[in-house]
Amino acid sequence: MERQPINYSLIFSKKRRTTAIHVKAQSVSVRAPHGACKRFIDDFVLSKRTWIETQLLKQSDFTSQVTKPLQDNKVMLFGEWVNIKVSRGKRSQTICEMGAVELVIAHRVSQVTSKAKDMLLAYLSQSLTVYVNERIAYWQNEMGVTASDVKVRTYKRRWGSCNQRRELSFNTFLVGAPKWVIDYVIVHELAHIRHMDHSNAFWQFVETKYAHKNQAKAWLKENGQKLELRFE
């Protein structure tokens, strides 16, 4: 049976000298030099079929693992599932009780989903901020370092960061991880205050302060995708 051709979008560029294939959001695009032969491009894409199908499958698996809290009516909080309910009321407020989070949206709000998203992210950010600040105080004393500022933000590709000014940032989505995993990320970023790299000295410093480094790294590698939230 003849195999189906691969659908892709084609972008020509006068600056390009080579042809490249990109697979993102389960879509295939090809960037090619201006004037490149279409038949050559088709053959090139077909020659990379196995790689393309592998990437599409990986992205499909990733999409299936991502939590959609407002559709699934649940979200992970410190390693435990918490039920989410969206309701309407006189004023917008977030109510947390009995292991559940209720997002009450004021009747005057027309964009309910957008408002619920903002309220949920604010709640998760605040929850992580409280925990991180508590643990930062402990770990700074243990490690003999001091951060100048601590913030919680939403990132796509990192759990935390530390800059030359000793300012630490942590990903809001990290709030879904167990607390012992969050502690590893805190120690990791604090260690950068002393070693602004991933040298042997850096890792040795981390290991002397946090005994479960390898287990935490393995947990994030296996479960990190599940922590990402998607709102559609």
Residues 124 and 20 grouped into a single domain: no
**Residue at which a domain ends, from 19, 40, 65:** 65
With cut-offs at 50, 70 and 90, classify the pLDDT of residue 24: confident
Residues 219 and 110 grouped into a single domain: yes
Amino acid at position 96, single letter: C
Using DSSP bridges, classify how beta strands 160-162 and 167-171 pair: parallel, antiparallel or unpaired. Answer: antiparallel
* pLDDT tens digits, 141-173: 999 999 999 999 998 778 999 999 999 999 999
* Count of the separate structural domains present in the chain: 2
Residues 143 and 56 grouped into a single domain: no
* pLDDT tens digits, 58-103: 765 544 567 889 998 999 999 999 999 999 999 999 999 878 999 9
Residues 46 and 136 grouped into a single domain: no
In the three-class reduction of DSSP (H, G, I as helix; E, B as strand; rest coil), residue 129 is classed as helix
Per-residue pLDDT at 57:
74
Read off the pLDDT of each residue in 225-232 and give the average, rounded to a whole number: 84
Query: Reduced to 3 DSSP states, what percent helix, strand and coil does the chain have, rounded to the nearest 5?
Result: 45, 25, 30
d(CA 152, CA 158): 12
**Residue at which a domain ends, from 24, 49, 65:** 65
Q: Is residue 84 part of a domain?
A: yes
In the three-class reduction of DSSP (H, G, I as helix; E, B as strand; rest coil), residue 67 is classed as strand
- Containing domain of residue 153, as a range? 69-227
Amino acid at position 143, single letter: M
* pLDDT tens digits, 192-223: 999 999 999 999 999 999 999 999 999 998 88
Q: Is residue 1 part of a domain?
A: no
Residues 23 and 105 grouped into a single domain: no
Q: What rounded mean pLDDT belongs to the chain?
A: 90
Task: Check: CB of residue 70 under 8 Å from CB of residue 87.
Answer: no
Bridge partners (DSSP) of residue 230 are none
Per-residue pLDDT at 1:
38
Bridge partners (DSSP) of residue 93 are 104
